[in-house]
């Protein structure tokens, strides 16, 4: 484990739940909200609060979770599901390494905690020199949640709904499942937890009793963000989290001056950044860390993922993945930029065009029904209809290089590797297998022959026309 500092801050994320009620083969915390696994929301909120030193408690079936965290993240495996307290016990080595510090313990399936809440709770936790600071929220309907019983500044108990009497059920301040602990207190308290209850489980909330018994301070930080308590246990709950997250992103976009015609079917990643005066149609999907400049128009059916789009760009019912698009470019309808496509400003990509792992120079036009793969194309080129870069010969992938101001005729095949110089021209219907010098014409096709009356005879006699 690197990056750990004795006495510093760390986070312990509980992620051993399975997806049984989700009916998913994936670990529950990998269920996605706005295309982002729930646990990645937690990971990022902790990072935003300045806590990069993280430990994740996973189940034996949760190995897939490791791939979502950076090198150096600690993992502990909980072999049996014996409660939240038991889960934290599995991370004892991590806690020992952080003795003297404070650790944030939180659930991997409650994605709406936020960095500000984490920080504010820490401020309170340290100022009050608390052993435990529980993060709480006041909600209208607390049914089902653990109630926060306060005694002046102290939290005297967290009472589960099932165990609560009427007086306690009337309390609207509830446990969010997120806690700051003094690490040293937590290690000691874990050793004192019992499992003498109906389920035979160790509950993390029982640390409050330990603290109370020991006269240690337990504080509550009540967040203004009520959504922090929300988690998902089944597909219905997950759908609700998605709906809430969508609305929150929309609010942010509208405040930022983004033009939304209707939010129906619109899904925008929480990590996307969109400049003012850009219009998103309904049904647009923006995934991942996409950035979109100002004055763009993105129409229905477009899907943009982890890409950087300039200003005044039009994306018309097209898909863009891990690519960059320069200012003023126009794309679509019905086109695709596959990963590592880089379009300079002013490029025009028309309909039924695929670009893959290629750079396209300024103001080049690829208007229709073409495929450009593994190629470097210059500025101001014109691609006719039906151009194909034959970048794969069945064994190897090769690159094409095309200079500036080239003209590629319709249904040209460019058999990679091949280079075209500046101002080169290929005749329609040519298959180009050798380099074409600048300003030269390359032609590779047969001359036209006309057979008079052939067609009339064919229709009459039904000969085979193509042989």
Positions marked catalytic: 368
Q: Is 411 in the site for its own copies (CB under 8 A)?
A: yes
C-beta of residue 289 within 8 angstroms of C-beta of residue 269:
yes
Q: Scanning the structure block, which residue is given the tokens 């309808």?
A: 333
Residue 281 binding its own copies, by CB under 8 A? yes
Nearest-5° Cα angle at 112, 107 to 116: 100
321 Cα distance to chain centroid:
12
Sort residue 464 into left (φ over 0), alpha (ψ -120 to 50) or beta: beta
Question: Of 134-142, 148-156, 206-214, 246-254, which segment contacts its own copies by CB under 8 A?
Answer: 246-254
Positions 164 through 203 that interact with its own copies (CB under 8 A): none
Nearer to its own copies, 172 or 235 (CB): 235
Applying CB under 8 A, the site for its own copies has a residue count of 111
Closest contact distance (angstroms) between CB of 267 and its own copies is 6
List 122, 303, 329, 331, residue binding its own copies (CB under 8 A): 303
Residue 260 binds its own copies (CB under 8 A): yes
Site for its own copies in 327-356 (CB under 8 A): 333-334, 336, 350-352, 354
The token pair at 285 is 């999907």
Stretch touching its own copies by CB under 8 A, among 66-74, 94-102, 197-205, 449-457: 449-457
DSSP readout, 267-314?
Answer: EE-TT-EE-TT-EE-TT-EEESS-EE-TT-EE-TT-EEES-EE-SS-E
Q: Which two tokens stand for residue 425?
A: 């021209």
Q: Which of 8, 283, 288, 345 binds its own copies (CB under 8 A)?
A: 283
Could you say which residues in the range 347-406 bind its own copies, by CB under 8 A?
350-352, 354, 368-371, 382, 384-386, 388-390, 392-396
Which of positions 428-447 make contact with its own copies (CB under 8 A)? 428-434, 436-437, 439-447
Counting contacts by CB under 8 A, is residue 298 touching its own copies? no
| Spatial contact of 26 and 60, defined as CB atoms under 8 Å apart | no
Of 314, 211, 286, the closest CA to residue 34 belongs to 286
**CA 156 vs CA 46, 152, 219: distances in Å:** 27, 9, 9
Pick from 195, 220, 191: nearest CA to 133: 220
Q: Which of 140, 220, 235, 233 is nearest to 177 (CA)?
A: 220
- Kind plus residue range of the DSSP H or E element containing 425: strand 425-426
CB of 18 to its own copies, least distance (A): 13
Sign of the four-CA dihedral 447, 372, 377, 352: positive
Crossing angle of helices 115-127 and 38-48, rounded to 10°: 50
Given the rule CB under 8 A, which of 91-99, 138-146, 197-205, 232-240 is the region that contacts its own copies? 232-240
Least distance between its own copies and beta carbon 430 (Å): 7
CB of 237 to its own copies, least distance (A): 9
- Choose the binding region for its own copies from 75-83, 137-145, 173-181, 454-462 (rule: CB under 8 A): 454-462
In DSSP terms, 218 is beta-bridged to: 132
**Per CB under 8 A, which of residues 66..85 are in contact with its own copies?**
none
Least separation in angstroms between CB 417 and its own copies: 9
Cβ-based nearer residue to its own copies, 120 or 294 = 294
Letters for 12-41 (x = contact with its own copies by CB under 8 A, - = none) are ----------xxxxx----x---x------
In the complex with its own copies, the residue whose CB is nearer, 1 or 463, is 463
Place of tokens 């295309």: 35
């Amino acid at each position: 484990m690197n990056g750990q500092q004795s006495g510093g801050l760390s986070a312990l994320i509980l992620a051993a739940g399975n997806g049984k009620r989700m009916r998913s083969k994936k670990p529950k915390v990998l269920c996605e909200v706005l295309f982002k696994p729930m646990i990645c929301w937690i990971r990022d909120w902790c990072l935003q609060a300045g806590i990069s030193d993280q430990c994740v408690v996973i189940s034996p079936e949760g190995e897939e979770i490791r791939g979502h965290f950076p090198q150096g993240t600690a993992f502990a495996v909980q072999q049996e599901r014996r409660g939240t307290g038991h889960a934290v016990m599995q991370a004892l080595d991590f806690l020992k390494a952080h003795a003297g510090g404070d650790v944030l313990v939180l659930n991997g399936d409650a994605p709406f905690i936020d960095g500000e809440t984490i920080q504010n709770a820490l401020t309170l936790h340290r100022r009050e020199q608390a052993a435990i600071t529980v993060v709480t929220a006041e909600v209208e309907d607390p049914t089902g949640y653990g109630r926060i019983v306060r005694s002046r500044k102290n939290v005297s108990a967290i009472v589960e709904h099932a165990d609560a009497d009427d007086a306690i059920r009337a309390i609207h301040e509830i446990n969010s499942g997120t806690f700051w602990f003094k690490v040293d207190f937590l290690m000691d308290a874990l050793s004192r937890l019992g499992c003498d209850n109906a389920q035979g489980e160790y509950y993390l909330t029982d640390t409050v009793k330990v603290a109370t018994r020991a006269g240690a301070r337990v504080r509550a930080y009540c967040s203004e963000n009520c959504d922090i308590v929300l988690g998902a246990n089944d597909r219905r709950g997950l759908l609700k989290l998605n709906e809430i997250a969508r609305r929150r992103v929309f609010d942010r976009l509208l405040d930022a001056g983004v033009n939304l015609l209707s939010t129906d079917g619109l899904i925008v990643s929480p990590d996307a950044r969109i400049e003012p005066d850009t219009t998103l149609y309904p049904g647009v999907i923006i995934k991942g860390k996409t950035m979109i400049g100002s004055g763009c128009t993105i129409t229905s059916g477009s899907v943009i993922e982890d890409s950087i789009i300039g200003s005044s760009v039009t994306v018309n019912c097209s898909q863009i993945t891990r690519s960059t698009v320069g200012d003023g470019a126009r794309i679509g309808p019905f086109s695709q930029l596959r990963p590592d496509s880089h379009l300079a400003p002013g490029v025009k990509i028309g309909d039924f065009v695929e670009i893959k792992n290629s750079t396209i120079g300024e103001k080049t036009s690829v208007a229709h029904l073409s495929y450009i793969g593994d190629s470097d194309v210059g500025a101001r080129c014109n691609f006719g209809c039906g151009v194909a870069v034959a970048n794969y010969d069945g064994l190897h992938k090769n690159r094409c290089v095309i200079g500036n101001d080239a003209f590629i005729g319709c249904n040209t095949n460019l058999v990679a590797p091949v280079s075209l110089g500046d101002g080169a021209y290929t005749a329609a219907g040519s298959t180009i297998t050798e380099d074409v010098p600048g300003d030269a014409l390359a032609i590779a096709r047969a001359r036209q022959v006309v057979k008079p009356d052939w067609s009339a005879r064919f229709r009459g006699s039904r000969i085979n026309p193509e042989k």
